[in-house]
Structure 1
């Protein structure tokens, strides 16, 4: 990965909707070079997907919850089992294995407290290996970024 690839990645992370010509102009390369490099970055898995970022506050009631999960048994297969369980839940936006402290931190987006209660019952209370759940309810989002420094 060279400086041109880094400039392309930085520009795409700020606005993935720009045309190839606009991107090429922004990173100071020809459009064919830019297209070839973006395809290579995609084919090699550096660019995993392009998405639209939606402001949850603009689409209706929304509650962001940061959840710490500790398991009773931390064997690799039990950790993977929990990750598989939360991967199927649309409200779980992010799942991280962490250390030290809890075993997982989840970022969850639900409509309201009753929706969180239903999710907590479905994913945590009904799961025999979950020992402890600690939830933090967001009252204000002052920063949200998706870009990665390249």
Structure 2
């Protein structure tokens, strides 16, 4: 099974490993092997190969936001739409470089059509959000429009990418 790059060949075991890693990357190699029905040496070798291919970008811990709020406070999470005045390649690259360097920016997407960027940001409170907005958005003469949507409840959060082989008969994923 080929995926986008001609050198990457994945089979059902690889897909099962990728799916299992997305569900819980802290599993031991023995647990992982058992879950995907292969021997532990096979699981270890395959996971190393998937990492070497760059399919596993990194492993992180996902914190429980509600439990962390008891320690750090809930803070303010916002989804922010940004439209640039000039949308040339250099202007987009410059804006993107500035915002991704800020720790308050959790996610940054270039989008089309509509606004040029969507950011997911987290600030400790509204004064913290105001500081972030001034630092990243209002101080940039190339930002034409900003629209912020403040999260009052997160109903779902799942960072997994659906992992399944491409349907090669119809050329569809």
Among candidates 161, 165, 168, match of residue 148 of structure 1: 161
Unaligned runs of 5+ in 1: none
The runs of at least 4 aligned residues of structure 1 exceeding 4 Å deviation read none
Among candidates 14, 19, 25, match of residue 23 of structure 2: 14
Instruction: Compute the RMSD of aligned alpha carbons.
Output: 0.8
Residue 111 of structure 1: how far off its partner (Å): 1.2
Unaligned runs of 5+ in 2: 1-9, 164-173
- Return the alpha-carbon distance in structure 1 between the equivalents of residues 104 and 66 of structure 2: 15
- Return the alpha-carbon distance in structure 2 between the equivalents of residues 126 and 95 of structure 1: 18
Q: Does 1:38 align with 2:47?
A: yes
TM-score (norm 2): 0.85
TM-score (norm 1): 0.98
Which residue is 1:55 aligned to?
A: 64
- Return the alpha-carbon distance in structure 2 between the equivalents of residues 90 and 65 of structure 1: 14
Among candidates 78, 92, 111, match of residue 79 of structure 1: 92
Q: SS at the partner of 2:61?
A: coil
- Return the alpha-carbon distance in structure 2 between the equivalents of residues 6 and 113 of structure 1: 43
Which residue is 2:122 aligned to?
A: 109
How many equivalent pairs are there? 150
The structure whose RCO (Cα within 8 Å, separation 6+) is larger is 1
Q: SS at the partner of 1:18?
A: coil
Higher-Rg structure is 2
Which residue is 1:24 aligned to?
A: 33
Q: SS at the partner of 1:51?
A: coil
Q: SS at the partner of 1:69?
A: strand
Q: Deviations over 1:78-137 (max 9, x none)?
A: 100011001110110110010110000001111111110100000000011111000000
